[in-house]
Amino acid sequence: MTPDVHQSIGKLTRQLHDALNGLGLAEKVKDLTGEIPDAKSRLSYIARLTGEAAEKVLNRVDQAKAQHDYIATETRRIGSLIVKDPVAAVAKGHVMNFLTDVEQSTQLIDQHLTEIMMAQDFHDLTGQVIAKVINLVADIEEQLVQLLIQTAPVDAVVKAPVPEYQPVLSGPAINPEGNPDVVTGQSEVDDLLASLGF
């Protein structure tokens, strides 16, 4: 980088700094900058949650498939025993044992399917976090547009619409550990409600 370019960048930076201060936007931009790390941790939260959900689903599918394979193998084995000697297959308890195994396996498979279904809750949780990050980006965009409007020639200024008020809800707790204002799990919710007489 030549000294001239370096000097030009320095001059532009100073002008931007002065412009932001002069327009009273410096604090707002500073606030938004402070939210960037929060946005980073929110995106990390999404990556973690989706990763965990995928891992959970794959593990449960593996286990369910193992149960399924077991039933398939046992069905073939019992089938051949019945073809060979139906009376002995019943009398020796092979058929009854098989039915017991099938019942146990289907119960286990049902549990795996329920867990696979529950793992899909990441869609709701990450969706809320993504919405918050989008709001942050939109806020930054709005501030930049305001900066453009306020620095534009007077006859080019168009008044920006006032956004409709929305109540603020915090959404999923990204880093609940060490934060006394949020609960870290259902047991804390139950304790809090119990302390209130509920």
Interface residues toward other proteins, by CB under 8 A: 114, 117-118, 120-121, 123-125, 127-128, 167, 169-173, 176, 181-186, 189, 192-193, 196, 198
Closest distance to other proteins from the beta carbon of 188 (Å)? 8
Per-residue buried b or exposed e for 33-65, using 16+ beta carbons within 10 Å of the residue's own CB: eebeeebeebeebbeebeeebeeebeebeeebe
- For the CB of residue 153, give the shortest distance to other proteins in the complex, in Å: 38
Closer of 16 and 117 to other proteins (Cβ)? 117
Least distance between other proteins and beta carbon 176 (Å): 6
> How far is 110 from 116, CA to CA, in rounded Å?
10
Q: Which is nearer to other proteins, 104 or 179 (CB)?
A: 179
Rounded least distance, CB 198 to other proteins, Å: 5
Nearest-CA neighbor of 146 among 4, 57, 47, 20? 20
Q: What is the DSSP string of 65-134?
A: HHHHHHHHHHHHHHHHHHHH-HHHHHHTTHHHHHHHHHHHHHHHHHHHHHHHHHHTTHHHHHHHHHHHHH
> Which of 145, 193 has the CB closer to other proteins?
193
Residue 49 CB, shortest distance to other proteins, in Å, is 9
Decide whether 90 or 118 has the Cβ nearer to other proteins.
118
Alpha carbons 8 and 156: distance in angstroms, whole number: 28
103/191 with CB nearer other proteins = 191
